[in-house]
């Protein structure tokens, strides 16, 4: 399972503790979050977590096609200004690269608390022909994150999207 942009790491740690048989690779650029997860690995015996400190796309070059059971992208930066849209993590090229690495039946779970970001995430994922899915109820298994709480405090409801890799052709 690939956990993309885990921020401060609390949800990664909580979910990994709840699923000790699931190997987790977390990718994050935020150094304090990386340190938090590394500390949890050492002090809480979460040895099934691996951490990549850096950008997702260069790391994906090292991940074989069809090797992931799941990808999680929770509360990515929405980059609200149009001039910054190119910085959004969930873009067509990134979703395509993630989809290639999902095995058939593997899942892509996204969450956001910003409406226009939810629309953008959904549009990008809906346009990927190897994925099927869409809006789901917030799963109890997804811990609350700091970013989700900020959205709730601002009166915004979280949106969860779940997609499944359904097509084997076209890698």
Which residues participate in catalysis according to the annotation? 77
Number of C-beta neighbours around residue 124 at 10 A: 20
Determine the distance from the C-alpha atom of residue 170 to the mean position of all C-alpha atoms in its chain, rounded to a whole number.
Answer: 23
Give 82's contacts (C-beta < 8 A, 6+ positions apart).
Answer: none
Question: If we measure between CA atoms, which residue out of 154, 113, 110 comes closest to residue 135?
Answer: 110
In whole angstroms, what separates CA 23 from the centre of its chain? 15
Any idea what DSSP says for residue 86? G
Two tokens at 6? Answer: 């885990």
Task: Assign 3-state DSSP to the chain and report helix, strand, coil percentages, each to 5.
Answer: 35, 25, 35
């Amino acid at each position: 399972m690939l956990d993309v942009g885990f921020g401060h790491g609390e949800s990664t740690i909580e979910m990994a503790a709840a699923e000790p048989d699931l190997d987790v690779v977390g990718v994050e650029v935020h150094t304090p979050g990386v340190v938090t997860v590394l500390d949890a690995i050492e002090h809480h015996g979460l040895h099934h977590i691996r951490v990549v400190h850096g950008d997702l796309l260069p790391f994906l070059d090292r991940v074989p096609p069809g090797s992931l059971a799941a990808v999680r992208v929770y509360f990515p930066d929405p980059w609200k200004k149009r001039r910054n849209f190119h910085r959004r993590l969930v873009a067509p090229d990134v979703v395509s690269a993630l989809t290639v690495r999902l095995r058939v039946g593997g899942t892509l779970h996204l969450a956001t608390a910003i409406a226009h970001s939810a629309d953008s995430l959904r549009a990008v994922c809906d346009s990927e022909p190897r994925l099927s899915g869409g809006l789901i109820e917030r799963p109890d298994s997804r811990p609350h994150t700091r970013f989700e709480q900020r959205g709730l405090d601002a009166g915004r409801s979280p949106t969860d999207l779940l997609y499944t890799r359904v097509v084997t052709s076209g890698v």
